[in-house]
Structure 1
Amino acid sequence: MAVYTEVSLSEAQALFKQLKLGHVTSLKGCAGGIENTNYFASAELEGQTHDYVLTLFERLSFEQLPFYLQLMKHLAQHGIAVPEPTANDKGALVFDVKSKPAAVVNKLSGASELAPTPEHCAQVGAMLARMHLAGRSFEPQQPNLRGLSWWNDTVPVVLPYLTQAQKALITQELAYQNHVAALSSYAALPRGPIHADLFRDNVLFDTVNHAPVLSGFFDFYFAGIDTWIFDLAVCLNDWCIDLETGKNNAQNAHSFIASYNQERPLLAAERALLPAMLRAGALRFWLSRLWDFHLPREASMLQAHDPSHFERVLTQRVSHLLDFDTLAACA
């Protein structure tokens, strides 16, 4: 989250009045993330205070945004713990705030767990599988906008900023991913709506009887139609690695995969291509962080991510070609 577009309290109050959400009593900009303008808002309605997130979308268009919001509403209505967008009297989910597309969703309870244990990973893996299954009945179509096509377009843009070794790594990996995408086994992989960015800071947990209980997934604004195994790989590259080195955390990986597999058993083709998708996920986020780092946008609150982190993850995934069974094995 970040703040690129300033929103006043009165402007937020006007939108909340339109949505019949009550009177906004506080509005606070969010510093985390890099894509959109986000505010935490509290509103009073009939003597009760409710918490929301107001988002202004800096890159997504008015035409693109309904896909994400409709997906969130679909998942919420199918029992997946995600923020549910608020509609107006006409059923619209997208609104114009300062000439930017905007949305309001309920704020989930809990906090992110930045040092996940196998128990955290088990809960996330199980809900990820249930989310994929719930998405099968979601009809709107929109590709993963940060998928292979974007990688092919963006690598040439960041190459001038890289060392020779980095150039070699990123161009070789891009060629490999184009090769994988041309395989018939890849084309046959099951797919549907994916989150595509389900990192530790996009999941919340409550504590019940001193134990973690997953309270929800959020920030679906990189979602799109893609392979489910890529979504799983993106998660494994964050939840199941050592942040300092990028090395695989076998205990977390075992817990995550086992719980996912219990809800939706992985196909043999998915197992075979998971190592390639781990490399794909690392390339995607190294590339996007390079782009944001070297070609930044102005924002009043912004915390840029370190590109070198996913360079290390990619290097680990390339140099340690773990097969599925090794990856999922408990240390």
Structure 2
Amino acid sequence: MAVYTQLHEDDLNQFLRDFDLGFLVNFKGIEGGIENTNYFLSLEKQGIQKEYVLTLFEELNYEELPYFVELCQWLSDRDIDVPFAIHDRNGIGLKKLKNRPAAIQPRFYGEHVGQSELTAEHCAAIGKVLGEFHVAAADFYLKRQAHRGVFWWRRESELIAPKLSTDDQKLLKEEVQRFDQLRDNPSDIKVGTIHGDLFHDNVLFQGTDVSAVLDLYNAATGFLLFDLAIVANDWCSNPDGSIDHQREEALLKAYNEARPFTEGDREAWAVLSCTAAMRFWLSRLIPWLDQNSEQKLKDPDELKRILLFRRQHPSQLPD
């Protein structure tokens, strides 16, 4: 989260007139993140003060956002703790402020847990929640192609190849081909709505319990197991790229209890755990190799180390 669009008290008071949430007590910009502008709002109604988050969408446009608004409402209605757009008096959740799409959402409380501090208990908690997320979204009525999915990584891996070493070119090409082979023969691998970016910093905890899953703006239709692999690679990895068996076992067992694995899932896990590492290795490589990039850069070698470990030491899903 970050503040790209500056707001003043008058802007907010005018915006809040459409809602029945009370009057503005104070507000504060939320620093950090790279995509949207976010503010904490304190509103008072009938002597009771409540906290909200106001989001101004800096990259997604009005045509793209209804999918995410509907998904978050769908999940919240099914007891998945995700931010959702609060409706105004006319039943409208997606609004406009400073010529940008905007939404007011409930504020969730909790703490981000650093990657080095994640335990098997944290991993079990997110495994359970992700399984419940996938079950709750199983009959969600909208579909979306991931903007950095298979077509993106096919194209970008070709474009970036001349900038890579021969070994890295080969590694990237092999992983793209492995996924294509899997996609052409998917067996009974479950497909549905995925979060798409469930790294540890997109979750709030109270103790070892998940209090909220945040930032669903990479959600799409895809292999559910790919979503789980993103989590496993981030939540269960060590600095050298190896996977902590205890944390991964806790994650996978808890997920399996919420959404049982299919036989196709078990056959595909070794490939998809590599695919997930490849996808984020590639997305980090692109700005890393662009000397004109102004993005906050994350080390692509972190994901490359995980990918190499996954290839050499494939894990298995529990029964």
Task: Give TM-score scaled by structure 2 length.
Answer: 0.89
Determine the structure 1 residue equivalent to 2:265.
Answer: 270
- Does residue 63 of the first structure (1) align with residue 63 of the second (2)? yes
Q: Closer, same or farther in 2 for the Cα pair 1:199/1:184, shift >3 Å?
A: closer
Aligned 8 A contact 2:203 2:214 in 1 = yes
| In structure 2, C-alpha distance between the alignment counterparts of 1:306 and 1:140, rounded to whole Å | 34
| In structure 2, C-alpha distance between the alignment counterparts of 1:31 and 1:107, rounded to whole Å | 15
The 5-angstrom pairing of residues 167-178 of structure 1 reads 167-178=169-180
Q: Closer, same or farther in 2 for the Cα pair 1:264/1:45, shift >3 Å?
A: same
The 5-angstrom pairing of residues 57-96 of structure 1 reads 57-96=57-96
- Does residue 118 of the first structure (1) align with residue 120 of the second (2)? yes
Deviation at 1:11, TM superposition (A): 2.4
- Does residue 201 of the first structure (1) align with residue 197 of the second (2)? no
Deviation at 1:106, TM superposition (A): 1.0
Deviation at 1:264, TM superposition (A): 1.6
Q: Secondary structure at the match of 1:18?
A: coil
Determine the structure 2 residue equivalent to 1:312.
Answer: 305
Q: Closer, same or farther in 2 for the Cα pair 1:272/1:293, shift >3 Å?
A: same
Aligned 8 A contact 1:234 1:278 in 2 = yes
How high is the sequence identity, in percent, across the aligned residues?
Answer: 34
| In structure 1, C-alpha distance between the alignment counterparts of 2:76 and 2:146, rounded to whole Å | 21
| In structure 2, C-alpha distance between the alignment counterparts of 1:25 and 1:72, rounded to whole Å | 27
| In structure 2, C-alpha distance between the alignment counterparts of 1:287 and 1:294, rounded to whole Å | 11
| In structure 2, C-alpha distance between the alignment counterparts of 1:253 and 1:32, rounded to whole Å | 28
Greater relative contact order (CA < 8 Å, ≥ 6 in sequence) = 1
The 5-angstrom pairing of residues 130-209 of structure 1 reads 130-159=132-161, 161-185=163-187, 188-207=188-207
Q: Closer, same or farther in 2 for the Cα pair 1:276/1:98, shift >3 Å?
A: same
Uncovered stretches (5+) of structure 1, i.e. residues with no partner: none
Deviation at 1:156, TM superposition (A): 3.8
Q: Closer, same or farther in 2 for the Cα pair 1:184/1:262, shift >3 Å?
A: closer
Aligned 8 A contact 2:129 2:255 in 1 = yes
Q: Closer, same or farther in 2 for the Cα pair 1:255/1:94, shift >3 Å?
A: same
- 48-57 vs 263-272, which moves further: 48-57
Determine the structure 1 residue equivalent to 2:316.
Answer: 324
- 139-148 vs 13-22, which moves further: 13-22
Residue among 250, 253, 257 paired with 2:248:
253
- Does residue 229 of the first structure (1) align with residue 221 of the second (2)? no
Aligned 8 A contact 1:272 1:323 in 2 = no
Aligned 8 A contact 1:66 1:93 in 2 = no
Aligned 8 A contact 2:36 2:56 in 1 = yes
| In structure 1, C-alpha distance between the alignment counterparts of 2:262 and 2:58, rounded to whole Å | 38
| In structure 1, C-alpha distance between the alignment counterparts of 2:245 and 2:86, rounded to whole Å | 40
Determine the structure 2 residue equivalent to 1:290.
Answer: 285
| In structure 2, C-alpha distance between the alignment counterparts of 1:76 and 1:50, rounded to whole Å | 19
Q: Secondary structure at the match of 1:42?
A: strand
Uncovered stretches (5+) of structure 2, i.e. residues with no partner: none
Aligned 8 A contact 1:82 1:216 in 2 = yes
Deviation at 1:154, TM superposition (A): 2.6
Q: Secondary structure at the match of 2:59?
A: coil
Aligned 8 A contact 2:285 2:300 in 1 = yes
Aligned 8 A contact 2:2 2:30 in 1 = yes
Aligned 8 A contact 2:200 2:235 in 1 = yes
Q: Closer, same or farther in 2 for the Cα pair 1:308/1:17, shift >3 Å?
A: farther
Deviation at 1:102, TM superposition (A): 2.0
Q: How many matched pairs? A: 316
Deviation at 1:86, TM superposition (A): 0.9
Deviation at 1:142, TM superposition (A): 1.5
Q: Secondary structure at the match of 1:12?
A: helix
